[in-house]
Amino acid sequence: MVLTTVDRAEATALLTKLRARKHGAIACDVSAVVGHEAMIPMRGFTLEPDAVVAGEERLAHGEIVTLLRAMHRTSTETRGETKSRQLSAGKALLTGGLAFSKTVTREEKSVAQASEQVLYIFRANRETPWLLRERGTSYAGLGPRLAASSTQNFLTTIAYLREKAPTALYDERLLNPRNATTRLSRSGSASASTLQSSSAGGVDLIAHLIASWSARGRPEAQTKII
């Protein structure tokens, strides 16, 4: 991404300049981006000869146009205070032996890092994308292909979809996105708080842009600000 702005005219002007230089530039309104939370989840699925079925949803192999393997990274920082009583000779002297301890407050901080692979599955006609998660997914639908680890099952499912949709674009650049924005959220109180940062929303946006760019050759595709 070269520009993020709330000024539509500014975005349109830059898009025009980039295309004049023969770059395959595209732009979009963030309101057009379907976040991973709103995508159709493949928590459990079955494989049919011409489609993948998840719950009441059905994904025909011929609808698949873009497969993007990506990484969602999350960092959670937790801060808190602990109070303890400690013996204090100085306090005992000052109080004439009436008090022998004092309250000590310590600030504690811990940071936890987590990452998970996902697969964005974009469909023709801009219908709601599907999302496959590395973990938290039942891979029983793989049948005899089922392996012991979720990572191997995740990769097997990707290989299956690529085989069934050979003309779909497959891309792995979002396993290590360079310019995905990070979303921050904070919760808790003054004495105990949690700050979480996640790249998922930024990766959603870049995935949408890549899918839009790859769709330019299709009749229904739109390469304007949408």
CA distances from 114 to 72, 78, 135, 193 (A): 8, 14, 12, 19
What is the tally of structural domains in the chain?
Answer: 1
Q: 79 falls in which pLDDT band (50, 70, 90)?
A: confident
For residue 226, the model assigns a pLDDT of 40
For residue 184, the model assigns a pLDDT of 67
Q: Of 37, 16, 34, whose CA–CA distance to 25 is shortest?
A: 16
Q: Residue for token digits 């901080």?
A: 109
Residue 157 lies in a domain: yes
Answer whether 138's CB lies under 8 Å from 153's CB.
Answer: no
In angstroms, rounded to a whole number, what is the distance separating the alpha carbons of residues 95 and 112?
Answer: 44
Q: 100 falls in which pLDDT band (50, 70, 90)?
A: low
Is it the case that residue 175 has pLDDT exceeding 80? yes
Residue 204 lies in a domain: yes
> Per-residue pLDDT tens for 11-45?
999 999 999 999 988 888 888 899 999 999 999 99
> Per-residue pLDDT tens for 147-161?
999 999 999 999 999
Region 65-90: what's the mean pLDDT? 82
Residue 64 lies in a domain: yes
Residue 103 lies in a domain: no
Answer whether 71's CB lies under 8 Å from 202's CB.
Answer: no
Residue 172 lies in a domain: yes
Which pTM was predicted? Answer: 0.78
Q: Which domain holds residue 173?
A: 19-79+115-214
Residue 30 lies in a domain: yes
Average pLDDT, rounded, for the chain: 86
Residue 90 lies in a domain: no
In angstroms, rounded to a whole number, what is the distance separating the alpha carbons of residues 80 and 91?
Answer: 27
